[in-house]
């Protein structure tokens, strides 16, 4: 057993889980009309209702005991202080500095002394403002003197998912060039994007810290070739490309003016980088003022996370609830279900945010865990998901905790669309919690005039066990500020869970092995080298590809 699973706090939760095994939330609500008041909080106009969970006040007390035993608060403070908590890469973790709107000194600890990165952060933000305003206003001209109408962000992973999500979420506020995203090395992604664009009015943002990422640079060179095919002059590149990178030499060699290079730092993890220069595509779409509102919303949650006691701390509560289900109820996944079409990419964004952070099997000390770590994150907007996978959540054999998110007010108030959407947002968590017993189904069928034989046959199929855990997030409407707050809530929830599991939530070595092997295989597919020794499955697939492509 590990120090965690052998700890008094863990053992107390195991015993409590057995005591809760047959407790139904329906009964908890029936016995306590104050349950909603006890298990809900409001932070930055976001109402967080966690009353529909398999918890009591005792449960929460035990979960907070576990968090404190795992020194969650101390680890949180170490992050904000700039300590090198990313131990496998010897780096600080300071995405919170990127949205530090108070401008209080903040920076990584260097040689035992604190530093202050805020002047550099603000310098890049100011540069982003000047550049984006020139492009958005039409003052910046392309090579032939025309204004930019389309911006293409070329990146992958954190250089794509965050900007895509935020640009989708804030499309209502977009008043700049049309923003497109290309991430996949599959040429179809680039080809289908370029097919709709005019070289004279298109700008590309190449988002790669090292300027060596295979997928990104392959796409960037294809975009440059497309541009040069139209202009036949390398000078055009500087008028139609900007770089989000720290590789000055690589940017210059590509043909981009380093005045249009926007830096970020090694204490910014890729999946937290939308707050940095990587967010330039968001700025192009909605403008710098709105982007700074998003930063402000996240900063407000940073302050809440940093100062609120665990019992009143929304990210901490989100985090310990996830541990409760992952480690004590054997939940393998967690669904994020936004009832707002603008937030359609929010679940995909936190697939990376959560799974790349906490998909780890070793502790900080290198020993293997003997407990579950990060869950599979997935989801789709409501009500689409209701007609796809909610069946399994309601009546399947897997326990799937769910987050429901919705604005009280629509940005597009068409007829009675939004009341109907909200009715579903409210009904689904209630149905998941209460369920419907076989007796209730039978009585309902009798009232409808169904005969007893049919009732006996069909009632089991119409029974809902209920007792399915959910959280609900309700906010006035989707704004840049609110989106920033929501993102930060989930970021810090991930931090809390990683701290409890004693894993490094800020590296991603799992990305590397496949990339290394792909570089090894590529020359075999292009004919630059003979097939090498692989397992028989991989060798067979390589041979099949070569035969299908006529390169035997």
- Residues that are catalytic: 356, 387, 515
Kind and range of the H or E element at 290? helix 288-307
Q: Are 168 and 174 in contact (CB under 8 A)?
A: no
SS3 277: helix
Residue 193 and residue 164 in contact, taking contact as beta carbons nearer than 8 Å? no
Residue reference for tokens 């195991």 = 14
- Can you read off the two tokens belonging to residue 170? 């804030």
Residues comprising the chain, all counted: 552
Could you give the CA distance from residue 432 to residue 448 in angstroms, rounded to a whole number?
24
3-state secondary structure 293-319: HHHHHHHHHHHHHHHCCHHHCHHHHHH
Give the three-class secondary structure for 170: coil
The position carrying tokens 């290079």 is: 261
In which residue are the tokens 């995909």 written? 348
- Cβ count within 10 A of residue 119: 10
Helix residue ranges per DSSP H, 112-172: 118-137, 161-169
What are the two backbone dihedrals, phi and then psi, of residue 111, each rounded to the nearest 5 degrees? 55, 40
Task: Report how far residue 76's alpha carbon sits from residue 63's, in angstroms, rounded to the nearest whole number.
Answer: 17
Return d(Cα 240, Cα 199) in angstroms, integer. 8
Of residues 432, 497, 495, the one with CA closest to residue 468: 432
Rounded to whole angstroms, how far apart are CA atoms 448 and 24? 28
CB contact set of 484 (below 8 Å; sequence gap of 6+): 99, 293, 294, 295, 296, 297, 298, 299, 301
CB 42 within 8 A of CB 95: no
- Whether the CB-CB separation of 220 and 256 falls below 8 Å is answered with no
Which tokens in the block code for residue 512?
Answer: 């590397």
Sign of the CA dihedral running 97, 98, 104, 107: positive
Neighbours of 456 (CB within 10 A): 12
Peptide bond into 383 cis (omega under 30): yes
Vertex 72: Cα angle to 375 and 497 (nearest 5): 5
* DSSP characters over 343-402: GTTHHHHHHHHHHHHH--SB-TTSPBPSS--PPEEE---TTGGGGTTHHHHHHSSS---E
What does R_g of the chain's alpha carbons equal in angstroms?
A: 26
Separation of alpha carbons 214 and 216, rounded Å: 6
């Amino acid at each position: 057993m590990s120090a965690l699973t052998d700890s008094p706090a863990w053992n107390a939760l195991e015993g409590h889980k057995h005591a809760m095994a047959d407790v139904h939330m329906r009964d908890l609500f029936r016995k306590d009309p104050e349950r909603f008041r006890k298990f809900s909080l409001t932070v930055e106009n976001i109402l967080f209702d966690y009353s529909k969970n398999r918890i009591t006040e005792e449960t929460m007390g035990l979960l907070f005991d576990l968090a404190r035993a795992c020194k969650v608060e101390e680890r949180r403070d170490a992050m904000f202080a700039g300590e090198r908590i990313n131990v496998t890469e010897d780096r600080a973790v300071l995405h919170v500095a990127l949205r530090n709107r108070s401008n209080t000194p903040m920076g990584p600890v260097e040689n035992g002394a604190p530093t202050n990165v805020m002047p550099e952060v603000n310098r890049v933000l100011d540069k982003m403002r000047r550049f984006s305003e020139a492009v958005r206003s039409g003052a910046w001209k392309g090579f032939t003197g025309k204004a930019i109408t389309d911006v293409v962000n070329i990146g992958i992973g954190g250089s794509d998912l965050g900007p895509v999500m935020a640009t989708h979420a804030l499309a209502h506020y977009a008043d700049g060039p049309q923003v497109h995203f290309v991430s996949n090395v599959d040429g179809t992604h680039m080809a289908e994007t370029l097919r709709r664009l005019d070289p004279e009015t298109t700008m590309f943002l190449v988002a790669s810290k090292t300027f060596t990422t295979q997928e990104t640079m392959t796409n960037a060179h294809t975009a440059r070739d497309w541009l040069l095919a139209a202009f036949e002059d390398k000078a055009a590149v500087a008028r139609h490309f900007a770089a989000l990178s720290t590789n000055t030499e690589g940017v210059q060699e590509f043909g981009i003016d380093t005045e249009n290079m926007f830096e970020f730092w090694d204490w910014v993890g890729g999946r937290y980088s939308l707050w940095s220069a990587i967010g330039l595509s968001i700025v192009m779409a909605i403008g710098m003022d709105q982007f700074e509102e998003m930063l402000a919303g996240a900063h407000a949650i940073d302050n809440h996370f940093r100062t609120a006691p665990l019992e009143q701390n929304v990210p901490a509560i989100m985090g310990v609830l996830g541990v409760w289900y992952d480690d004590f109820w054997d939940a393998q996944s967690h669904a994020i279900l936004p009832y707002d079409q603008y937030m359609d990419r929010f679940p995909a964004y936190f697939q990376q945010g959560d799974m790349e952070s906490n998909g780890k099997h070793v502790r900080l000390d290198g020993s293997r865990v003997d407990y579950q770590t990060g869950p599979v994150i997935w989801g789709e907007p409501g009500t689409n998901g209701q007609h796809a996978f909610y069946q399994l959540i309601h009546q399947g054999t897997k326990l799937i905790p769910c987050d429901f998110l919705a604005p009280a007010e629509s940005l597009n108030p068409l007829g009675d669309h939004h009341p109907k959407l909200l009715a579903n947002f409210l009904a689904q968590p209630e149905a998941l919690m209460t369920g419907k017993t076989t007796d209730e189904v039978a009585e309902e069928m009798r009232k409808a005039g169904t005969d007893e034989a049919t009732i006996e046959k069909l009632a089991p199929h119409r029974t809902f066990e209920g007792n399915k855990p959910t959280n609900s997030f309700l906010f006035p409407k989707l704004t840049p500020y609110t989106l920033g707050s929501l993102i930060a809530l989930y970021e810090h929830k991930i931090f809390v869970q990683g701290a409890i599991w004693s894993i490094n939530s800020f590296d991603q070595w799992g990305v590397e092995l496949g990339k290394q092997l792909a570089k090894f295989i590529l020359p075999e597919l292009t004919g630059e080298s003979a097939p090498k020794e692989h397992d028989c499955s991989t060798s067979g697939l390589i041979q099949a590809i070569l035969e299908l492509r006529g390169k035997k």
